[in-house]
Structure 1
Amino acid sequence: MANRLADATSPYLLQHRDNPVHWQEWGETAFAEARERNVPVLLSVGYAACHWCHVMAHESFEDETVATVLNERFVSVKVDREERPDVDAVYMSAVTATTGHGGWPMTVFLTPEGEPFFCGTYFPRDHFLRVLSALDEAWRTREADVRASGAHIATTLAGALAPPSPYAAGPADLDRAVALLSAQFDRRAGGFGGAPKFPPSMVLEFLLRHHARTGADASLDMAGRTLEAMARSGMYDQLGGGFARYAVDAGWVVPHFEKMLYDNAQLLRVYAHWWRLDRNPLAEKVVRETASFILGDLGTPEGGFASSLDADADGVEGATYVWTPEQLVRVLGADDGSRAAGLFSVTSGGTFEHGSSTLQRQVDPDDPAWFDSVRARLLDARRARPQPARDDKVVTAWNGLAVAALADAGALLGEPGWVAAASRCARFVLDVHAGDGPLRRASRKGQVGAALGLADDHGDLAEGFLALHQATGDAAWLEAARRLLRDTVARFGADDGGFHDTADDAESLYLRPRSAADNAEPSGQSALAGAFVTLGALTDSTEALETGRLATEAGCGLALREPRFGGWTLAVAEALVAGPVQVAVVGEGHRAAALAREARRSTSPGAVVVQGVPDAQGVPLLADRPLVEGAPAAYVCRGFVCDAPVTSPDELRERLAVTQPPAQPSGGQSSVDR
C-alpha cells in the first residue's frame, strides 16, 4: 500500500502526495479496507491556504514515525474541505459537539462504518503520537465500547441538529435583528464581537438593505463604520487590493493572511452597494482594487477564478505583505520612506512579528499622485519577495459569487470589462462543471472533479447567472439560472420548505448535512432562497417567489435569534418585505442607457433591473411594455403591481424613491417549470 493522492484534482491533497502516510481520498475504497483490516479510519480535513494544516503536515504527516503508526494501525483519509464541504460539515458537527470548538486542520477518528468516536483539530507531533497509541489500544482491547461511543455520538447529533421551526419575518422582526446586532457592535473599531474578527459581508448587506427600506440611521452607521474600518485596516491589502480572511485582533490590525475568493467576491459586491448610496470615494477605491485583485491574482487561464492565496510564503506567515521602516526607506528613499511609514502606520516596534508591521491607512494621502507612485514602487518591490502559493481549483459556488459581484459592480460603475470577465467565468463553469450531467463542485486546470454540486453551488451559481442577465439583458443567462434551479426543490428540498446541503441521490453520510447558518458564505439554503426570490422578480413567477419565501422562513428561526450568523437570510427577507421592486427599461441608445443607470442606483432591497428592446425574446420583464411615443421608457413595479411608465431619469429617480407596501402577488406564472 502507498500514498494514493498523486492523481487528485485538489491542490490541498496534492500537497500531501509525497507524505510517507498512505493517504487515500474519501470514498468506499478506504472504508472497505478499514472493514477488511478491522482498523479505525483517520479522517484529516483541511484546505490549501490553511496555516495550521501546513504546520501539522510538517510536524506529523512528513514524519516517518507518525507515518509508520498510521500505516500499520489505521486507514488514513485526506479531505479538502473546499472540495467536499458535505463531509467537512457532518464531521465538524461532531468536533464542535464533543470538544466545544472547531477549526482546521480537523482530525477525526471513525469506525469502519464512518461513525466518529474521537475528535479534535490540530495536534502537536508528540501529543498526536500519544493519541494514536491510546486509540489503537482502545480499538484492539475495547472495540465494542469504541463502536458504541461512535454510534452514540452519531445518534445524538442526528437529534440535536434538527433545524428550528420556520418563521415568517416581518418588518418588526427585522428591526429587532438590527437591535441585536447593535448590542454586539464594536463602536470603537467596527465589526461585531471581539477577536478574532471576520468580515461580516452578508450582515453588512442586510444592514444596507434595512437602511434603504426604513431609513434607519443605526443600520447605515454600523455598516458604514465597519466598511470604512476594514478598508483602512491591516486586513485590507493596501498595495494590491483584496482582503485577508480575518483579523486576529479586534482592531483589524493583524490579519490571518490567506486571501479567499469567497470573501473578496462578497466584499466587492457589498462595497459596490455602499458606493451606490452616496458615491463614497473610499468605497469606489476598494471596489476597483478588489476587482483588480480578483481578476489579476485569482483568474485562471480557463476563465474561472482560483480559490485562494496561501497565508504563508516560504513557510513564513505574512512574509509577502509586512514591512519595517528600514525596508520602506530602502525602496522609496529616506523622505518618501519616512512619509510612507507615517501614512501606513509602520513603526519601529512593529504591529506584527519580528518588528514588522502590516500596512494600514487611517488617513487619505493629501497628494494622490505621490501615493500612486509610492504604491506602485512598493508593489514592484513586493513582487520580488517570496509569493504565497495559489490554490487554483475552481469551486462552483465561489465562482458564482464572483460572477454576481463582477456583473453587479461592473454594471454599477460602468466597467464592461468586469461584466465580460463575469460572462467568461459563467460560461466556463456552465460548460465544464455542468455540461450534460449533474452540476459538479470543482475543477482544476479544466478537469472537473467527481464531487457533486451542493445546494450552495446551485444557489450561488444561479445568483451569478441572474446578475449577469441583469447586467447584459441576455436571456440566455436567465434561462441558465432557470434550468439550474428547476430540480433543486425535488433534489435538495426539506419538508419545512428549506433545503438540505446535499441532494437526495448524493453519497450517504452518517448525517445528511443541512445548515441554516450563514458563516463565511451563504448557506446552501439561503443561497437558494435568494436565487429563487430574484428569479421570481425577474420572471413574474409567484411559484419561484413562494419557494424563496419558504426557504427564507426556514432559516429565519436561527437568523433572527443570532443575526450575525444569518446575514444572507435576513438580506433576502428584506427583499421579500420590500417587494422586491422590478424595473424594466425598454429601448436602446443613450436615453435607454441613462434610464438603466438610474434604475441600477436604486437601493431598494432585492430590486431587479433589465434593459432591452420591447418584447425581447425570453425576457419576461420586457414583455408587453412598449416604448412611449417612440422613446425609451422605464416601468417600475412593486409586488407585480406597476406604475405608469416614465421617460426621464429624473422621473425614474422620483418614482424609485417612493416607498410603497407591496401588494400580495397573485396569478403569476411558474418560471421554473415552463
Structure 2
Amino acid sequence: MPNRLAAATSPYLLQHADNPVDWQEWGADAFAEARARDVPVLVSVGYAACHWCHVMAHESFEDAATAAQLNAGFVCVKVDREERPDVDSVYLAATQALTGQGGWPMTVFTTPDGAPFYCGTYLPPRPHPGMPSFRQVLDAVTDAWTHRRAGLQDAGQRIVEGISGRLDLGAPTPLTADLLDGAVRALADRYDREAGGFGGAPKFPPSMVLEFLLRAHARRGDEDALGMARHTAEAMARGGICDQLAGGFARYSVDAGWVVPHFEKMLYDNALLLRAYSHLWRTTGADWARRVADETARFLIRDLGTAEGGFASALDADTEGVEGLSYVWTPAQLREVLGDDDGSWAAQVFGVTPEGTFEEGASTLQLRRDPDDGERLARVRAALLQARARRPQPARDDKVVTAWNGLAIAALADHGALTGDTELVRAAGRAADLLHRVHWVDGRLRRASRGGVVGAHAGVLEDHGDLAEGLLALHAATAEPRWLRWAGELLDVVAARFVDADGRWYDTAADAEALVHRPFDPADGPTPAGIAAAAGALVGYAALAGSPEHRARGEEALASLARLVEVAPQAAGWAAAVGEALLAGPLEVAVSGPAGPQRAALEQAARRSTSPGAVVVAGEPGAAGVSLLADRPLVGGAPAAYVCRGFVCSAPVTDVSALSAAMTGPHS
C-alpha cells in the first residue's frame, strides 16, 4: 500500500512511495505529528540520481522489519535536496559540524521542533568496522529519547546555535587585480599538473574555476591560468568522465585521472561545462573544444529536453541497480557490434582492454588522442551509440529546476550566438518561456515543476541569480526586450527579499518558510553560490540596461566575498570570474543596423571577444526595450558597432578591423 509520498511531484520521493516506511513530505504536519506522538523525526535527504541513496533504500527502507521499527518510533520525512535546497543546506551544515563530512543519503534525527541531534550519511544494514548498522542507530536514538531526552534537546539547541552563526568573511573589500592574481597563484599551488584538476580523487569538474581562469588569462595574458584551464578541460574531455559516444559529462571521477566516473549525469554540470568549453574554444580555437561544446549542447537538448520545453534534472547513476551498466564495454562487446577489424581498432582508440578499467573486465571509453581517420571514428561511434541504445537505460529525473534551467539557458544562448547555431538559441528560448509560464507565479519564482505542473516550493537565491543570468544571455543573443525586463524583475525580488537592511545576504527569502536557521552559503558547490550568481547577474544587467544602481549592488555583493576568493579560490570561482568582469568594465558592444552581411560580420567579430563578462547585442537602431541599442544610429548609412566599458563609450566603428582594435586595450 503506498505511503504518504504517493501524491508527491518529486521523482525521488516517488521512488519511495511504495516503501513499507510511512514516509511523508517535509512540512508542518510531520512535525505536529511528532509532537502529538512524542517521538523524534527522521529526516532522510537524497536525490533521484544518487547511487548510495538507492542502495540504502533497497537495504533498509524496503525491509519490513526496519520499516516497522521506523514507523513505531519515529515520524519519517523524505526530502528531495534538489527541490528543497534550503532544508538540505540546514541539515548538511549540521551533519558536517557533527561528523566532519557530509553527503547523500543524509540521515538526520531531530526533535519535533526540527533541531538536529544526531546526523549521519549512508548507514548499512549490518555493522561495519567503525560504522554501526542503521537499526543499531535506531535503537540507540530511541533509547536516548526515552531515557536521556533532556540531553538530546540540549544537544539539538547547541547544534542549531552553532550552525546559525554566519561565517566570518571579514570586512568587505573590492576584488582588485592583485587579489585575483593571488587567487590564480593559489589555484596553481593545488593544481594537478599531471592529470589536471585540483587535489586528488574523487575529482569533480571545476566548472566555475575554469571560467575564472579563462577570464584571468584574457585580462592579463596569464599563460599559466590558460594552461590550467586547457589542460583540465582536455583531460576531462578525453577521459571516461566524458561520454565519448553521446556527449555530456558524468558527475565526477572516482579516480584522479578522470577514468572511471560516478555515472550520474546532471543538468547543472553539463550546462556549466558547455559554457566553459565554448569559451575555451573562443579563446584557443581548439577543434576538440568546439566538438565537446557542440556534443554537450546536443546531449542537453536530446537527452534532457522535456516535452514542455525545459530541461530535466539528471540521468541516474544506476541502470537496473547496476552502476555503469549502460556505458561500459569489453573488447568482445566491441567486436560483436563492429566486427573484428573495427572492433579491435575501437578497443585501441577508446582504451578498452582485456583487464578493463572499471569492474568485471569492462572499460569506460576514453579518447586520449584523436585518431587520424576521423570518418572511421564517426562511423564507429554511431554504431556503438546505436547498439548502446538497445541496452537498458538509466532512469531520468524529469523535474525542471529553475536554477539549473537558468544555467542551461545561459549556456545554449551563449554558445548558439557564438557559433551561429540558431537552434540552440531557440531551445534556450523555449526553456525560458516554460519558466515564465509555469514557474513565475504572482510575481514570485517557484523552485521546480514536473510535467508542466509547478511545485509548491519557493525559489531560493540561486534560482533568481542563475535564471537572471540565463535571461541576460538570451536577451544578448536575440535582442528580445522581454528577457531583459524579466531579469530586472528577478533582481528586484533579490534586492527586496534576499538582502536585509544591514546588507546581509541569505539563500532564502525573508518571507520563506522558517527553518531552525535561515541558511546562507557563500561558497560555490557544484553550481555557483547564490550570492555569486546574483552578483554576476547584477553586473551583467547593469551593462545591458545601463544601470549604475545594479552595478553598485553587484560590487557590494562581491566585496563581501573577497576574503573567500583570497583564501579559498576553488570555492569562489564564480565570484572571482565576476570580479574579472568588473575589472574589464565589462565590455559592452552594441551592433546597430538592419539585418544583413555587414551587421552579421560586426556581430561575429564582437562575439569572438574574450574580454571578461563582455555583453553583445545586435539589432535595429533604437529597438524598443533594448537599452544597449538606444541612441545607437547608423553611421554613414551603414551598420555600426558601439564599444563601451563601464558606461564610457568610444567612437562608433563600421568595419571589423576597427571593431577588433576598439575591443582590445586595457582589460580587454
Shorter chain as denominator, the TM-score bin is over 0.9
Paired AA for residue 206 in structure 2: P
Separation (CA, whole Å) in 1 of partners of 2:375 and 2:588: 42
Superposition map of 1:136-175 within 5 A: 136-159=142-165, 161-175=167-181
2:130 aligned residue: none
State whether residues 39 and 73 of structure 2, in contact with CA within 8 Å, keep that contact through their aligned partners in structure 1: yes
- CA deviation digits over 1:494-517, x for unaligned, max 9? 456452100000001111000110
State whether residues 489 and 499 of structure 1, in contact with CA within 8 Å, keep that contact through their aligned partners in structure 2: no
State whether residues 220 and 667 of structure 2, in contact with CA within 8 Å, keep that contact through their aligned partners in structure 1: no
State whether residues 583 and 667 of structure 2, in contact with CA within 8 Å, keep that contact through their aligned partners in structure 1: no
Whether 1:405 and 2:411 are equivalent positions in the alignment is yes
1:316 to 322, 329, 348: 322
State whether residues 496 and 554 of structure 1, in contact with CA within 8 Å, keep that contact through their aligned partners in structure 2: no
Paired AA for residue 292 in structure 1: R
* TM-superposed deviation, 1:480: 1.1
Question: Quick check: 471-480 or 157-166, which moved more?
Answer: 157-166
Question: Quick check: 155-164 or 645-654, which moved more?
Answer: 155-164
2:78 aligned residue: 78
State whether residues 2 and 19 of structure 2, in contact with CA within 8 Å, keep that contact through their aligned partners in structure 1: no
**Structure 2 residue matching 1:72: 3-state secondary structure:** helix
Paired AA for residue 76 in structure 1: C
State whether residues 6 and 17 of structure 1, in contact with CA within 8 Å, keep that contact through their aligned partners in structure 2: yes
Whether 1:658 and 2:639 are equivalent positions in the alignment is no
Paired AA for residue 143 in structure 1: R
* TM-superposed deviation, 1:162: 4.9
- CA deviation digits over 1:504-547, x for unaligned, max 9? 00001111000110110011101100000000011111100011
1:222 aligned residue: 228
1:543 aligned residue: 549
1:593 to 600, 603, 616: 600
2:18 aligned residue: 18
**Structure 2 residue matching 1:43: 3-state secondary structure:** strand
**Structure 1 residue matching 2:346: 3-state secondary structure:** helix
**Change in CA separation of 1:345 and 1:494 when aligned onto 2, cut-off 3 Å:** farther
2:438 to 428, 432, 438: 432
Separation (CA, whole Å) in 1 of partners of 2:496 and 2:635: 43
2:377 aligned residue: 371
Separation (CA, whole Å) in 2 of partners of 1:157 and 1:483: 32
* TM-superposed deviation, 1:436: 2.8
Paired AA for residue 86 in structure 1: D
Whether 1:644 and 2:651 are equivalent positions in the alignment is yes
Paired AA for residue 615 in structure 1: G
2:250 aligned residue: 244
1:358 aligned residue: 364
Separation (CA, whole Å) in 1 of partners of 2:631 and 2:166: 52
* TM-superposed deviation, 1:97: 0.6
Question: Quick check: 152-161 or 502-511, which moved more?
Answer: 152-161
* TM-superposed deviation, 1:601: 0.6
* TM-superposed deviation, 1:552: 1.1
**Structure 1 residue matching 2:360: 3-state secondary structure:** helix
**Change in CA separation of 1:498 and 1:547 when aligned onto 2, cut-off 3 Å:** farther
**Structure 2 residue matching 1:119: 3-state secondary structure:** strand
Superposition map of 1:499-578 within 5 A: 499-578=505-584
Whether 1:614 and 2:621 are equivalent positions in the alignment is yes
State whether residues 399 and 451 of structure 2, in contact with CA within 8 Å, keep that contact through their aligned partners in structure 1: yes
1:27 aligned residue: 27
2:241 to 235, 244, 257: 235
Separation (CA, whole Å) in 2 of partners of 1:367 and 1:2: 55
Superposition map of 1:84-123 within 5 A: 84-123=84-123
**Structure 2 residue matching 1:487: 3-state secondary structure:** helix
**Change in CA separation of 1:3 and 1:524 when aligned onto 2, cut-off 3 Å:** same
- CA deviation digits over 1:596-638, x for unaligned, max 9? 1110111111111111111111111111111101000001011
**Change in CA separation of 1:660 and 1:368 when aligned onto 2, cut-off 3 Å:** closer
- CA deviation digits over 1:8-33, x for unaligned, max 9? 01000000000000001000000000
1:55 aligned residue: 55
2:638 aligned residue: 631
Question: Quick check: 431-440 or 457-466, which moved more?
Answer: 431-440
Superposition map of 1:167-206 within 5 A: 167-206=173-212
**Structure 2 residue matching 1:210: 3-state secondary structure:** helix
* TM-superposed deviation, 1:300: 0.3
Separation (CA, whole Å) in 2 of partners of 1:102 and 1:63: 25
Separation (CA, whole Å) in 2 of partners of 1:495 and 1:523: 21
Separation (CA, whole Å) in 2 of partners of 1:628 and 1:204: 39
**Structure 2 residue matching 1:355: 3-state secondary structure:** coil
Separation (CA, whole Å) in 1 of partners of 2:525 and 2:351: 31
* TM-superposed deviation, 1:161: 3.9
**Structure 2 residue matching 1:153: 3-state secondary structure:** helix
Superposition map of 1:435-454 within 5 A: 435-454=441-460
Give percent identity, aligned residues only. 61
Separation (CA, whole Å) in 2 of partners of 1:146 and 1:660: 57
State whether residues 269 and 526 of structure 2, in contact with CA within 8 Å, keep that contact through their aligned partners in structure 1: yes
* TM-superposed deviation, 1:165: 3.5
Paired AA for residue 403 in structure 2: A
State whether residues 298 and 307 of structure 1, in contact with CA within 8 Å, keep that contact through their aligned partners in structure 2: yes
* TM-superposed deviation, 1:437: 4.0
Whether 1:458 and 2:461 are equivalent positions in the alignment is no
1:670 aligned residue: none
Question: Quick check: 151-160 or 393-402, which moved more?
Answer: 151-160
2:129 aligned residue: none
2:263 aligned residue: 257
State whether residues 497 and 554 of structure 1, in contact with CA within 8 Å, keep that contact through their aligned partners in structure 2: no
Separation (CA, whole Å) in 2 of partners of 1:384 and 1:657: 52
Separation (CA, whole Å) in 1 of partners of 2:91 and 2:441: 31
Separation (CA, whole Å) in 1 of partners of 2:220 and 2:283: 14
State whether residues 498 and 554 of structure 1, in contact with CA within 8 Å, keep that contact through their aligned partners in structure 2: no
Separation (CA, whole Å) in 2 of partners of 1:202 and 1:660: 20
**Structure 1 residue matching 2:445: 3-state secondary structure:** coil
Paired AA for residue 212 in structure 2: F
State whether residues 19 and 61 of structure 2, in contact with CA within 8 Å, keep that contact through their aligned partners in structure 1: yes
- CA deviation digits over 1:14-59, x for unaligned, max 9? 0000000000100000000001111000000000000000000000
Separation (CA, whole Å) in 2 of partners of 1:457 and 1:416: 26
* TM-superposed deviation, 1:435: 3.4
State whether residues 117 and 146 of structure 1, in contact with CA within 8 Å, keep that contact through their aligned partners in structure 2: yes
**Structure 2 residue matching 1:353: 3-state secondary structure:** coil
Paired AA for residue 595 in structure 1: L
* TM-superposed deviation, 1:312: 0.5
Paired AA for residue 205 in structure 2: P
Normalising by structure 1, report the TM-score. Answer: 0.97
Separation (CA, whole Å) in 2 of partners of 1:139 and 1:57: 25
* TM-superposed deviation, 1:654: 1.4
Whether 1:380 and 2:375 are equivalent positions in the alignment is no
Separation (CA, whole Å) in 2 of partners of 1:240 and 1:166: 45
2:477 to 468, 471, 496: 471
Structure 1, gaps ≥5 residues long: 662-674
**Change in CA separation of 1:362 and 1:262 when aligned onto 2, cut-off 3 Å:** same
Separation (CA, whole Å) in 2 of partners of 1:496 and 1:372: 58
* TM-superposed deviation, 1:639: 1.6
Separation (CA, whole Å) in 1 of partners of 2:266 and 2:241: 12
Separation (CA, whole Å) in 1 of partners of 2:623 and 2:96: 52
Separation (CA, whole Å) in 2 of partners of 1:575 and 1:568: 11
Separation (CA, whole Å) in 2 of partners of 1:169 and 1:645: 31
* TM-superposed deviation, 1:88: 0.2
1:207 aligned residue: 213
1:666 aligned residue: none
* TM-superposed deviation, 1:160: 5.8
Paired AA for residue 499 in structure 1: W
